[in-house]
Amino acid sequence: MVDFTVVVPTYNGAQRLPQLLGALRSQVNTESIHWEILVVDNNSSDSTKQLIESYQAIWSGWPMLRYTFESQQGAAYARQRGMQDAVSEWVSFVDDDVIPSSDWVSTAYSFRDSQPQLGAYGGQIHPQFESDPPEDFKRIQSFLAIRERGDQPHLYDPENLVLPPSAAWVVCRQAWLDSVPTKPNLSGRVKGSMVQGDDYEPLIYMHLAGWKIWYNPDMHVSHQIPKGRLEPSYLVNLSRGCGLCVYSLRQIMAENLFQQLLLAAKITAGGLKRALMLLLDHQQKVFTDVVLQCQMVFFLSSAASPFYSVKALLKRDSAILP
């Protein structure tokens, strides 16, 4: 019987996976845990499959190492595949560019019974930069899945989209299967799109079903951030993707069409107001400072997110029609 599963969704991760697998293989205080690593190959075109097969040929004991394939591109589909193929009650997701601390598995596993109606939880995600980030980077660091929320456990706030990123979370499998639709609305970053929110979507569905989302400060991972992800063009596009998903996520919690329309108006007005306030506060610097540019793009994209959501829905429906 498997007690705990670490799902690793990966796309062309052959160069990144060895460091992660080494860190997972070196976990401490796991002697009493029957756990496994499940690598979900999300339609990679590199040697990911061959790499895992080479590891499996010499792998023995706990944790077990398994491989599965998901042809539908997008991290949301890879997570769905991992959840379907896992058999343990508790399933964690760890991105292939994340390195967990040596006690991450034992600490994550021990938290599972600490709170009533616990549906999911995430810990601290610390950046490991390849190059220096821009000045005042902390103002936008959450866009890169960095989470450092102090040393006390606390509830997240799904109603305001304050949630842990899937770079390193743990989920109650039954909570997911009972409340999360099998077909995601937000698929995650794919070629030609940086729209985010695919990791928040299942957490919102769990929240609506009565499950609680917690922060566990004792879980630590390092997020490897290459210099390319600190380039202004990447950061601006990432900020745009974070903004464009806002309405799609918030409307999940709307009960009817009237609430959806009211929500759309509030999000558009709120985004425009925040953009105007940023411009008034910083004036010309908004156009020259990369962090301010990212904030401005996020606010404007958030304001546009209701229109983007409708456009995406119409495009999806037209693709389904004969």
Contact (Cβ atoms closer than 8 angstroms) between residue 209 and residue 110: no
Above 90 in pLDDT, residue 294?
Answer: yes
Give phi and psi for 194, each to the nearest 5: -110, 15
Whether residue 187 is predicted with pLDDT greater than 90 in this model: the reply is no
List alpha helices for 197-282, DSSP H: 200-208, 232-244, 246-250, 257-282
The pLDDT value recorded for residue 190 is 63
- Whether 162 shows a pLDDT value over 80: the answer reads yes
Average pLDDT over residues 152-159: 97
**158: preceding bond cis by omega (within 30 degrees):** no
Q: What's the pLDDT score for residue 85?
A: 97
Domain boundaries, the chain: 4-228, 234-320
What is the pLDDT at residue 132? 95
Question: For residue 178, what pLDDT is reported?
Answer: 96
Confidence category of residue 321, pLDDT binned at 50, 70, 90:
very low
Contact 34, 64 (CB under 8 A): no
Closest CA to 272 of 242, 223, 305: 305
> What are the pLDDT digits (tens) for 217-276?
999 999 999 999 999 999 999 999 999 999 999 999 999 999 999 999 999 999 999 999
Closest residue by Cα to residue 56 from 41, 69, 72, 39: 39
Q: Which residues of 153-191 are buried (b: 16+ CB within 10 A; e: fewer)?
A: beebebeebebbbbbbbbbbbebbeebbeeebbbbbbbe
Average pLDDT over residues 285-300: 97
With bands split at pLDDT 50, 70 and 90, how would you rate the model's confidence at 314?
low
CATH number of 4-228: 3.90.550.10
- Asked if the model's pLDDT at residue 299 lies above 90, the reply is yes
Question: Who wins on pLDDT, 195 or 137?
Answer: 137
* pLDDT for the residue 319: 46
- Which residue shows structure tokens 């019987």? 1
Reply yes or no on whether the pLDDT at 73 is more than 80: yes
Please compute the mean of the pLDDT values over residues 182-196 and round it to a whole number.
78
